[in-house]
Amino acid sequence: MLVLFLTDELGKIPAIRAMLEPRYHVVPQVLGVGDTQIRSSGVLMVDADLREMVRVEQIRLVLRELSCMTEKLFVVPNHVRSMIAQAYALGATAVVSRPKEIILKLAEIEVAEKAAQTDFAITSREIADGAAAFASMFSDARGGRPINISDAERATSEIIDSIAQNGLSAWLDDVRRYHEGTYQHCLLVTGVAVGFALDIGFSSLDVRRLGMAATLHDIGKARIPLSVLDKPGRLDPAEEEIMRRHPVIGHELLKDISGVSAEILDGVRHHHEYLDGSGYPDALRAPEISDLVRLLTISDIFAALIESRPYSPAISRQDAYRILCGMDGKLERSLVKAFRNVALVE
Ligand SMILES: [Fe+2]
Ligand SMILES: [Fe+2]
């Protein structure tokens, strides 16, 4: 998605680029310098001192040229009241203050735009909220800030509500249509894990516990360089080695945060372990692998197989289930059998 960044200071551009690229395509423009770059899609983001009338006039002129852009995000540091009022008077569709709010808002707009471009999606609101919560968590983790556990709780609750109401298939289809990369993966894994827990009759407390573990399972990927994380195609051995650090990183990021239970930490650290001891990072064997981790691992592998990727065709749910069945010895056979319902029922 394109973000046209309109500012009164050249010096604000590098920070906004560092925050938003490469996820978004940032086009900067300094007020009063050069012609307006006419755009009809994407988001306009304005960061200027709205207490200065000369700035307000310059913005008004630019906005006249950009009347086709429907989303107008104004950055108002510290929620200065007079600037907020001025922003809305200029036609702001949202006013944000902190970097985290910017990321959340852009993620929401992106999902809404994608949903508007294609069919009406019954689950689009839940996906937007879930994706926004993931964006917030990953941004905190990447920026070295503590992860806000209420983001994970919010995403998990939205996903549970959506799947309880509309079923797993609608969730899987819509997430694959509207989201890419790591967020798609996290939304899918949590959906599959919640669908699995509901199908086998877990209590609501246990559904939530597994859902939270799934929501947070790959948070360590926030610290993996994007060149590795988003690499199209296969990773080379050195990159694979870097990628394999994410369970330990995730565990480190969460272990001192209150509200993250031992079961969730176990899920985050051990979702790549196999019953035969061939997994990582601790090469655990069956007796050391909890039920929650076994369920999470099955959900994670299945979700990874059915992901839609720009560089390779998606695998059908039937084929993905067949692959799980072929992993005998690594995954618990009785759970894979129970998972059939989740994997194949429409
Ligand atoms: Fe993982
Ligand atoms: Fe994963």
Contact of 223 with 141, CB cutoff 8 Å: yes
Q: Which amino acid is at 81?
A: R
Task: Find the 161 Cα to ligand 2 centroid distance in Å.
Answer: 22
Q: Give the pLDDT confidence score for residue 73 in this predicted structure.
A: 93
Percentage with pLDDT > 90 across the chain: 55
Ligand (nearest to CA of 184): 2
Cα(115) to centroid(ligand 2), Å: 25
Q: How far is CA 345 from CA 184, 201, 332, in A?
A: 21, 16, 20
Report how far apart, in Å, the C-alpha atoms of 43 and of each of 110, 189, 323 are. Answer: 9, 30, 42
pLDDT for res 98:
87
At 95, which helix (H) or strand (E)?
strand 94-96
Look over the chain and give the mean of its residue pLDDT values, rounded to a whole number: 89
Is 312 a residue whose pLDDT tops 70?
no
pLDDT higher at 339 or 40 = 339
Task: List, edge to edge, every strand of the sheet that includes 71-75.
Answer: 25-30, 2-7, 43-47, 71-75, 94-96
Mean per-residue pLDDT for 138-167?
Answer: 89
Given pLDDT bands bounded at 50, 70 and 90, which one contains residue 116? low
Residue range 19-77, pLDDT digits in tens: 998 888 898 999 988 776 666 678 999 999 999 989 999 998 888 877 767 788 999 98
> pLDDT tens for residues 188-223?
999 999 999 999 999 999 999 999 999 999 999 999
For residue 299, give the ligand nearest its CA.
2
Using the predicted structure, report yes or no on whether residue 118 has a pLDDT greater than 60: no
Q: Does residue 329 contact residue 275 with C-beta atoms inside 8 Å?
A: yes
Share of the chain above pLDDT 70, in %: 93
Task: Compute, in angstroms, the gap from residue 253 CA to the centroid of ligand 1.
Answer: 14
Q: Quickly list H helices, the chain.
A: 13-20, 53-65, 81-89, 99-117, 124-142, 149-166, 168-178, 181-199, 204-216, 226-229, 237-243, 246-254, 262-270, 291-306, 317-325, 333-344
Res 120: pLDDT:
46
Cα–ligand 1 centroid distance for 58 (angstroms):
48
Which pLDDT does position 183 carry in this prediction?
80
Smallest-distance ligand from the CA of 304: 2
Q: Which amino acid is at 190?
A: T
In a 10 Å sphere around its CB, with 0-12 CB exposed, 13-18 middle and 19+ buried, how is residue 144 labelled? exposed
Q: Which of 312, 313, 315, 275 is nearest to 297 (CA)?
A: 275
Q: By CB neighbour count within 10 A (0-12 exposed, 13-18 middle, 19+ buried), where does 113 fall?
A: middle
Q: Is the pLDDT of residue 85 over 60?
A: yes
Q: What is the pTM of this model?
A: 0.67
Confidence of residue 119 (pLDDT cuts 50, 70, 90): very low
Q: How far is the CA of 246 from the centre of ligand 2 (A)?
A: 10
Pair 31, 56: CB distance under 8 Å: no
CA distance 122 to 125: 8
The DSSP secondary-structure symbol of 260 reads -
**Ligand 1 centroid distance, CA of 134 (Å):** 15
Ligand 2 center–CA 301 separation, angstroms: 7
